[in-house]
Structure 1
Amino acid sequence: MLTQEQAVEIKVLMRHGAGIREMARELGCSRNTIRRYLRETAAEQYSPRTARPTKLDPYKGYLLERIEAARPHWIPGVVLLREIQEHGYDG
């Protein structure tokens, strides 16, 4: 996968008329990578990652409620941890 800097560099080199071999040599990647990038416009854009589930997901609603109820004061994290452990959190 190309970095954003490499993708911009390929565009600049292409405008200057550099060949694929020259681009590959200068950027330190294969000619096929350069060709694929030049062929596919979607190759230059990263898609957002999906969020992975965590152990804390079932308790996030409770935690947000507790934090909102305590405003403008704050609740120490140790207290919140103890409370969700009473509800079954084992992390």
Structure 2
Amino acid sequence: MRDDDDFLATFKSMGEAVAGAQGANLAQNYILHEILCDLARRSPDPEKYLSSMFERVSARADQGDVENEGHPVTVEFRWTVENLFKHAGNAVRRS
């Protein structure tokens, strides 16, 4: 019975940690999106600015410690960067 209680307490704690990390990640993503859109809108060519910034940020994956393209960290990094810039580009085009 004690093992079950320990497991449940650990499971609950892990769930709270994941929720906290997801909340922080979401907030940072929204903040970066707004900053990126503001910077792009101030540029003479917003599309070119976003494209150039995307290339610079994406290049960091090539220079990182995780060398394997299929590694989950690299896959998540690339997916997150692509989505951030896609959504920022859409927002800048709509404004």
Q: Same fold (TM over 0.5)?
A: no
Larger RCO (CA within 8 A; separation ≥ 6):
2
TM-score when scaled to structure 1?
Answer: 0.26
Q: When you count helix as a share of all residues, which structure comes out higher? A: 2
TM-score when scaled to structure 2?
Answer: 0.26
Bigger Cα Rg: 1
